[in-house]
Amino acid sequence: MRPSKKERQQKLVETIKGTPFITDDELAERFGVSVQTIRLDRMELSIPELRERIKNVAEKRLDDEVKSLPIEEIIGEIIDIELDKSAISIFDVKAEHVFQRNRIARGHHLFAQANSLAVAVINDELALTAKSTIRFNRPVKEGERVVAKAKVMHIKEDNDRTMVEVKSYVGREHVFTGEFDMYRSKNAAKDEVE
């Protein structure tokens, strides 16, 4: 038996709070209704569309926080960041990002999303990738949304290197992992410690 409109809308609010990057298509599938029904529910509840939700979260924090590169140079959209701790970005795979014959995303786009997120999470004006180890777990296809999550694993004792791990997901499926050995300027790292 389908839940009532009121129950569905209540669950919709809870779902979006818990998973703010969920698409209308995913919501429609989850609740067994049309995308149009989800859009009407969102309008009634004054919940903005996904792009607007992402933009609102990002605008609140990014401009003042990211030091290592300009926001427009980041591949994907950063939606959350805590410098020297963690960051999240999303990347929508479009026609220009895939191989034409099989509609699979070119790997360098997934790498670029993860690498630029690893650079952005560094609390320093200079952050460069010294070394990386990457692993693709499955192909990503056109139309899929990749959510990359960066976590600073540790800052090395000499303070000129930071290890960052980035895991990328499509929905709940883990599609990519990158481990980035990031170089940062020693002076900035020393300033942070003092």
User: Does residue 2 have a pLDDT over 90?
Assistant: no
Residue 52 near residue 115 (C-beta atoms within 8 A) = no
What pLDDT, on the 0 to 100 scale, is given for residue 191?
A: 45
CA distance 153 to 32: 40
CA distance 136 to 142: 16
Per-domain boundaries in the chain: 5-47, 65-193
What pLDDT, on the 0 to 100 scale, is given for residue 91?
A: 94
What pLDDT, on the 0 to 100 scale, is given for residue 178?
A: 97
CATH fold, domain 5-47, is: Arc Repressor Mutant, subunit A (1.10.10)
- Which DSSP symbol is given to 147? E
Helix, strand counts (H, E) of the chain:
6, 6
- Overall average pLDDT of the 5-33 stretch: 88
CA distance 150 to 168: 9
The CATH number of 65-193 is 3.10.129.10
Q: pLDDT grade, residue 16 (50/70/90)?
A: confident
More confident residue, 59 or 133: 133
Q: Where are the beta strands (DSSP E) in 67-160?
A: 77-82, 86-92, 127-136, 145-155
User: Does residue 194 have a pLDDT over 60?
Assistant: no
